[in-house]
Amino acid sequence: MVAPVSPILDAVIAVNIIADLILKFKDFGIEVNLENIASKIAEQEAAREHNISQLNEKMGAST
């Protein structure tokens, strides 16, 4: 008989596994090569700036 496990613990374990999956299976949709890597970095840098701006906006005065 399997001992009952806390739903929260279950959820934390699930999140742990999914976080690992994300980090393991991250890819870029298209081939990254020596020719396009600079443009891929530029795209991600633009996304980072946008995301940080959104985060700062949502955090408001508390930051």
Partner 1 sequence: MKRLIKALCTISFLVYAMGLTGCANQTATEQISAQTKDPAAIAKAIYLDSLAVYNDALTTYLPYVELVKESNPAAAKMIYDKFMQADAVLQDFKRWSQRGLPGNMDQKNFRALIRDLSIEIAKQIDKGGQ
At 57, which amino acid appears? E
Give yes or no for a contact between 26 and 18, defined as CB atoms under 8 angstroms apart: no
Least gap, CB of 25 to partner 1 (angstroms): 5
**Which residues bind to partner 1, rule: CB under 8 A?**
7-8, 11-12, 14-16, 18-34, 37-38, 40-41, 44-45, 47-48, 51-52, 54-55, 58-59, 62-63
Distances in whole angstroms, Cα of residue 40 to Cα of each of 22, 26, 47? 19, 14, 11
CB nearer to partner 1: give 3 or 31. 31
Q: Two tokens at 29?
A: 């949709």
Least gap, CB of 29 to partner 1 (angstroms): 5
